[in-house]
Amino acid sequence: MDCPHCHEPLAPETLHREAIDRCPGCDGIWLDRGELGQVVNGTYSSGTGPRDGEVAEIALTCPRCGREMALFNYAHDSGVFVNKCASCGGIWLNRGQLDALAQYRAGTPATESLADAIGDEMRRTNRWRSVRSLLRSRLLSGAVAAFYLIGAVLATGHPLSVLHPIRFLLLPMVCIWFSDEVGSLTGISLGLGRPVITHRSPGDYVALAGWVLLLCPIIAMPLVYVQI
């Protein structure tokens, strides 16, 4: 095959385990169908190489089948216009275009920093979502409540002994299961002589308070044994 740009014979070589054809005169590269991705992924761009191939040029003739190739913008927004043959699927890269494509795939330091920042924010968001799901978990809080009730029956041997734990569990379970609804309550007082709630409370704080109440007996149990 001859170079479509300067018409010199192309020399075969291997680049990133792909068999390509390079022009010794203008340093253009011919890639058969399916070879572009492997070559671009394996190319490291220093960002200092020639970038004259980024602008659109005239459509060239395909060195393999002799038909006129069409210019297309790589990845639709890279700004690197390369020649592609619609017949055989081959691609011609002018000098500097491979470096430009590798630079586009790698991104700039600014875009890499932005991607890292977005990734960190997403990880923090996912961790907070996991914490929120635990705070509002009906299954987990229900398991703790069942532990209290079963423990009361085993300790006394009377099924009616669950009535006292149920009265204790009512408030924390409501705070955990219906945290947003409880947090939206205003204009009420928690008891005689206590101030009236005038502002909404965040549902996560309400659920956290419910867990504190729910786990108080478990937290206090070791202290009781130490005093005994």
Q: Distances in Å between the alpha carbon of 215 and those of 7, 58, 147, 169, 181?
A: 82, 75, 11, 10, 22
Residue % of the chain over a pLDDT of 90: 16
Q: 154 pLDDT exceeds 80?
A: yes
**Does 136 lie in the same domain as 58?**
no
**Considering the domain boundaries, does residue 152 fall inside one?**
yes
**Does 99 lie in the same domain as 171?**
no
**What number is the average pLDDT over the span 198-209?**
87
**Does 29 lie in the same domain as 86?**
yes
Reference 16, options 43, 52, 46, 53; nearest CA is 43
Read off the pLDDT band of 9 (50, 70, 90). very high
pTM value is: 0.46
In the prediction, which pLDDT does 50 show? 47
In the prediction, which pLDDT does 30 show? 92
**Does 134 lie in the same domain as 90?**
no
Residue 14 belongs to what H/E stretch?
Answer: strand 11-15
**Does 137 lie in the same domain as 94?**
no
**Considering the domain boundaries, does residue 114 fall inside one?**
no
In the prediction, which pLDDT does 183 show? 86
Reference 26, options 96, 95, 101; nearest CA is 95
Least confident range from 50-54, 82-86, 88-92: namely 50-54
3-class secondary-structure state, position 46: coil
**What is the count of structural domains for the chain?**
2
**Does 158 lie in the same domain as 97?**
no
Contact by Cβ (8 Å): 45, 99: yes
**Does 172 lie in the same domain as 92?**
no
Which of 75, 107, 139 marks a domain boundary? 107
**Considering the domain boundaries, does residue 5 fall inside one?**
no
Residue 203: partners with Cβ closer than 8 Å, 6 or more residues away: 136, 179, 180, 182, 183
Rounded to the nearest integer, the mean pLDDT of the chain is 81
For residues 186 and 62, the model is more confident at 62
Residue 64: partners with Cβ closer than 8 Å, 6 or more residues away: 1, 30, 32, 85, 88, 90
Q: Where are the alpha helices (DSSP H) in the chain?
A: 36-42, 97-106, 109-135, 138-156, 163-177, 179-183, 203-227
**Does 94 lie in the same domain as 134?**
no
**Considering the domain boundaries, does residue 58 fall inside one?**
yes
Which of 107, 139, 166 marks a domain boundary? 107
Print the domain residue range for 174: 130-227
**Does 97 lie in the same domain as 180?**
no
